[in-house]
A and B are shown apart, each in its own frame.
Chain A
Amino acid sequence: MLKFIINNKIVETEKSAGMILLDFIRNEEKLTGTKEACREGECGACSVLIGKLNESGKMEYKTCASCLLPIGDVKDCHIVTVEGLDMPDLTLVQRLIIENSASQCGFCTPGIVLSLTGYCFSSDNFDYEDAITALDGNICRCTGYAAIRNAAKALSDSLLNNKNSDKNKRLELLADMEIVPKYFFDIPEKIKSLKSRCNQDLNDDTAVVAGGTDLFVQKPDKLEDSKLYFMSGRSDLDYIKSDDSNLLIGGAVNLEEFRKSETVNKYFPQMKNIILLHSSTILRNKATIAGNIVNASPIGDMSIILLVLNAALVIECKSRGLREVKLSEFYKGYKKYDLIGCEIIREIKIPKPSQNFYFNFEKVSNRKILDIASVNSAVSIKFDGNNNMEDLKISAGGVAPIPLLLKGFDEFTGKKINSENIKKIAEFSVNQVAPIDDIRGSAKYKKLLLKQLILSHFEKF
């Protein structure tokens, strides 16, 4: 039996773990404030807050798209819908939306209320930019966003004006400012009392849900009737740490955790911004790095990035133990990879960059944010002491059946980066790819674009 709390109510259900949370909220709980407009995580109308009890006994809230979220993934969680924000008067977020006329037809509005409320929990310093990023998955077809931005600005200003910015007292602050109702204080105790009874077992016929933000777009009906194994249940794998030579990313780490990780940003300071191009906040809060790798999309942003970072995967199988495989050897063909039924990615190992190391990621998509790339590409270069290239790696997505690590750059070892070599590298790269015409662009476009993106990698030299 699954147990969780929706708003201020403990819910116990025998429904299948693959049932979509949005359907549960609307059809079982009859809470109709959460709207369905795409069922693909593309619009944010179904955004809810998901609160999880952390090790220190506090709740951590994140905004997620409930249309791609199976209820098995929220066991022992606190789910907050717009109804769960009800208090005697409107919340501050709700008042600011009205004051700024940031709602027209109203269909996207509850999602926007939740995303802005989620920002109040997750933003470190209440920057306005954080508020806008919190809304990067909330599409509005009516307002043109100007009024929504004004509401976000007013919210950020109100929060900044408040002296209490101690992150440990966040809930106190938000309750004081009438951003969330007081019952939130009672939630940790209630969550502790839940303890859903549903041990998960991984067999050949089990589907692994590692975020599920693409899986549940592809085959939601099938998954509803399948046995599921939730990586979110593997709290032992929710870590980002490092040893002497590697960054170690647990198989349950989601993209937003990765993006915000101090450890990651210490070695790869660009990640904070690069990962914003991957997807929206409401998806990054769920989608995992491991899931993105196993999804095996030829255009997957994480695969393209990790290929040039020379990442390796630690693969776990309960019967056969652990094995390690290089990401560059993981992909075998379109959506085919070196992983069998009962295996999961336990850890992603990223070698720490050497001192003279250059990394860059380029992505062009029709829309800059929350879109799948037409072409993406990453580069890493290890330099020797004389600024000669010691190791050059370039990856390219959207131009082959798999996320491609381009080959044969050995001839550039020991060479300098100069315009002649850059040109050669670009030519060399483009000759290895054979893109196809599809919805993301024509083959010709992708090939020409890849060339430009590779040239762009070297723009700074």
Chain B
Amino acid sequence: MKNTDMRMHVQGKSVFIDDITAPDGLLHAVLFTSPVSKGRLKNIDISKAKTAKGVAAVFTHKDIPGKNQIGHMILDQPMFAFDEVEYIGQPIGMVVADTRKNASKACQLINIDIEKIEPVLDPREAYKKGLIHAQKRVLTNGDVEAAFKNCKYIAEGTIDSGPQEHFYFETQRGLAYPVEDDKIKVCASAQSPGAYQHHVAEILGIPMHKVELEIRRLGGGFGGKESTAVWVAAPALAAKLLNRPVKLALTRNEDIATSGKRHAYSYDYKLGLDAEGKILAFEIFLYQHAGACADISPAVLGRSFLHTSGSYYIPNIKVTAVSCKTNIPPNNAFRGFGVPQGTFSIETAIQHASEIMGINPIEIKKKNLLSDGDFLPYGMRLEKTNARRCWETLDKQTDIAKRIKSVEEYNKNNKNFKRGIAVIPVCFGISFAQSTLNQASALVNIYIDGSVSVSAGAVEMGQGVNSKIQSIAAKTLGIPVNFVHIDTTNTSRIPNASPTSASTGADLNGMAAKTACEELLLRLKKYIAKKTNYYILDEILINDGVVFLKGAKLDFTWKELIAEAYADRTDLSCHSFYATPAIYYDRIKERGRPFAYYSYGTSITEVLVDCVRGTYDIESVDVVHDVGQSLSKEIDKGQIEGGVIQSIGWATIEQIKYGKDGKVLTSANSYKIPDIKFVPKKFNVTLLENSNNPYAVCNSKAVGEPPFIHGLGAYYAILSVLRGIRKDKPFPSLPLTPEKVFMYIRE
């Protein structure tokens, strides 16, 4: 089953926010934002802007009828700044005009008087000053202090990983219309239907039933449209206040300059191993560079916190994590949601330890890989663990030892060019770590002509969740796929939908849709039983739109069945609900079963470094990844390939630079993401065979984020080259840009 949206995509017929026919009287909103990273807001002079050409209105915090608050987890984020500003790019108000250009021009006429205060831009400094979001988290298991005393080898150090811009193609945007009875409808590029609806209602000071959020599809999300609602709430506010349709769409450079990124982290690590390379103890301190507001950072940090042991069994561990408040735009969710950073901490420590031991890091990795019965640091006992199976499958395919040997041979014989190689195992917990969010609902309607419409809380953003749900619904009802249409994600049809994130879109919503279809199928079977007077329901089957009784084909079609069932007054609409069972977490004890299951994988990455120029090519990536019983091999392979390349971008060429004042200096022409020639010529993805997963829909496994971890291989492969050349410096931070590679070698 392919992504059925592709047919429209290739013809340019898919409708994104900007493609919706502009309603009569449409106005355009542009935000004006703080030019200062920290300060007291003295005065906002909007008088000139108000009378500028084409301007309909200028709004500030004073105009907000409801609460001036869009904090996603903690109420620390005003929609429009009112007494102080905390980062460059923080919204202070908006201009609404007949064209975007006029609104933009009018923004230049606004005078903002701010008394500057010294900003804090370093996460460690912020922590020292007590500037953190939420609480410090500490997890201990075993006795780390005692264990270190028994270690033969100890690798201790400090390292950093950098931020990453989402660069979803469709920038942040929303289109809002006033509807009768004070209701507002918002077409949004948003991953969190329920939460965004809630934010809009609070800003407008109206009940949620007066706000309808409609989401057809996103031109990419990657987490960036999950928690920061301002770009959807702002046009809704303007539409409400002006009683006119209003659109807000960020330009690419506005988006890069003001929206959240993947969090940079700083790490203090200490890893202890015995003489054989068995890990005995790990101590890790995570400093998350969160930015000015909490946004969703504490949740991201929580996931890093739970994944610092990576794919390894670590009997004694102490994890400390803080979300540091700094004066940069608040960072938010990005594919992997902290797991890449958590994994980076242990993988770096292992790399370091392997140098001390004088062995290849794969020796440590193999020795400590997770197995059934192992406990994770928060006390969860593993079963159906595929960490070793993935590793072994990759080894069988690629002969890891031989690959490493041939790299070593090459490096012996070449001076200016060196190869690097790295193996990365993946263990990624699936479920929202915040247990509440693990719920979804679906509404399945069968119309009297036999066509079926499914609505769910999942948001389609290219990951193919709609096609997966479509296929699950068709299979469950026993009808051809083209009988099923997946409707928009709409808060009036599906209330309180959790965000489509944590890779759970298909798991949760697919299961809800499946349950609804099963209920409808039961009702139809009951009708068939009544009609045929044959009451053994198990012997009534619908397959490919044909009804069978005791294995024999009945002479009425699906369409006729539905028409008759309707005439007989059968309820052809079903809403169903799903909540992931048996997950819980105790935040005080830092113990529990936060994840329903784990996604596994292993990959090997090879790079060629030009040691003269500092440039490199990612030559090959071989991936084995566990997706359970795939709901769609095409879609899952696409998710893996896309995740790996996006991650290699993070590990290598994608860099955000901040000025000394906390301003994002990087813009569209300097933020470079992988292009078609950057991608490794050899790029093989294998789905692990015979993997069964009873914890998700149709034995499948989530696939959106876990493959992101593989991309770390590019960092370690290049790192191995750098360390081969010189060991007199500490490890370089991630990403390893050509500049950093060059300077590591030459400086």
Interface residues of A (CB under 8 A from B): 26, 30-40, 42-43, 45, 81-83, 85-86, 90, 93-94, 97-98, 101, 103-110, 113, 132, 135-136, 138-149, 217, 221, 362, 364-372, 374, 439-442, 444-445, 448-449, 452-453, 455-456, 459
Contact = CB atoms under 8 A, between A and B. Distances in A.
Interface of B: 2-3, 5-16, 18-19, 21, 101, 166-171, 217-220, 222, 251-252, 461-464, 612-615, 634-635, 637-638, 641-646, 653, 655, 657, 665-666, 668-670, 672-679, 683, 685, 737-739, 742-743, 746-747
B3 A33 contact: no
Given A83-B11, A142-B638, 13 more contacts: A83-B12, A90-B10, A94-B10, A94-B11, A97-B10, A98-B6, A105-B170, A145-B641, A146-B645, A217-B669, A367-B653, A369-B675, A452-B614
A40 B669 contact: yes
B742 A448 contact: yes
Contacts of B638: 101, 104, 142-144, 147
Contact of A445 (B251, B672, B743): B743
B614 A105 contact: no
Contacts of B3: 101, 103-104
B462 A139 contact: no
A144 B643 contact: yes
Contacts of A42: 252, 668-669
Contacts of B669: 40, 42, 217, 372
Given A39-B252, A372-B669, A441-B739, A144 B217 contact: no
B556 to A, nearest CB: 33
B668 A142 contact: no
Contacts of B683: 144, 146
B642 A104 contact: yes
A30 B20 CA distance: 10
13 contacts: A32-B15, A38-B252, A42-B668, A90-B10, A105-B168, A110-B11, A145-B679, A370-B675, A374-B738, A439-B665, A452-B613, A452-B746, A455-B612
B252 A368 contact: no
Contacts of A37: 169-171, 219, 252
Nearest to B632: A101
A280 to B, nearest CB: 8
A372 B169 CA distance: 21
Contacts, number: 224
Contacts of B252: 37-40, 42
B620 to A, nearest CB: 12
B6 A374 contact: no
Contacts of A33: 11-13
Contacts of A101: 2-3, 6, 634-635, 637-638
B220 A32 contact: no
Contact of B645 (A108, A144, A362, A452): A144
A149 B645 CA distance: 14
Contacts of A370: 672, 675
B651 to A, nearest CB: 14
Given A81-B12, A456-B613, A366 B737 contact: yes
A27 to B, nearest CB: 9
A90 B11 contact: yes
Contacts of B613: 362, 364, 449, 452-453, 456
Contacts of A81: 12
B218 A145 contact: no
A141 B220 contact: yes
Contacts of A105: 168-170, 217-220, 461-462
A125 B259 CA distance: 45
B169 A35 contact: yes
Contact of B672 (A32, A45, A366): A366
Q: Considering residues B8, B11, B665, B674, which has the most beta carbons from chain A within 10 angstroms of its beta carbon?
A: B11
B678 A369 contact: yes
A434 to B, nearest CB: 18
A-B pairs, top 10 by smallest CB distance, nearest first, are A33-B12, A105-B462, A106-B9, A144-B645, A107-B219, A104-B462, A82-B12, A144-B641, A107-B169, A32-B19
Nearest to B171: A37
A374 B679 CA distance: 21
B189 to A, nearest CB: 10
Contacts of A449: 613-614, 742
A142 B220 CA distance: 7
Contacts of A369: 675, 677-678
A366 B738 contact: yes
A90 B12 CA distance: 12
A452 to B, nearest CB: 5
B673 A141 contact: yes
Contacts of B166: 141
Contact of A106 (B6, B637, B678): B6
B11 A366 contact: no
B166 to A, nearest CB: 8
Given A39-B251, A148-B676, A109 B10 contact: yes
A442 B101 CA distance: 35
Contact of B679 (A93, A98, A144): A144
A26 B18 CA distance: 9
A141 B676 contact: no
Contacts of A445: 739, 742-743
Contacts of B679: 144-146, 149
Contacts of B16: 35, 107
A452 B611 CA distance: 10
A377 to B, nearest CB: 11
A42 B665 CA distance: 17
A107 B677 CA distance: 20
Q: Considering residues B7, B645, B669, B675, which has the most beta carbons from chain A within 10 angstroms of its beta carbon?
A: B675
Nearest to B14: A106
Contacts of B655: 366
B23 to A, nearest CB: 14
A43 B169 contact: yes
Given A144-B643, A145-B676, A147-B638, A107 B612 contact: no
Nearest to B460: A105
A381 B219 CA distance: 51
A336 B128 CA distance: 49
Contact of B462 (A36, A138, A142, A459): A142
Nearest to A221: B101
Q: Considering residues A38, A364, A459, which has the most beta carbons from chain B within 10 angstroms of its beta carbon?
A: A38
B741 to A, nearest CB: 11
A143 B9 CA distance: 14
B675 A367 contact: yes
A106 B217 contact: yes
Q: Considering residues A45, A94, A97, A143, which has the most beta carbons from chain B within 10 angstroms of its beta carbon?
A: A143
Q: Considering residues B2, B220, B222, which has the most beta carbons from chain A within 10 angstroms of its beta carbon?
A: B220
A449 B742 CA distance: 8
Contacts of B5: 103, 106
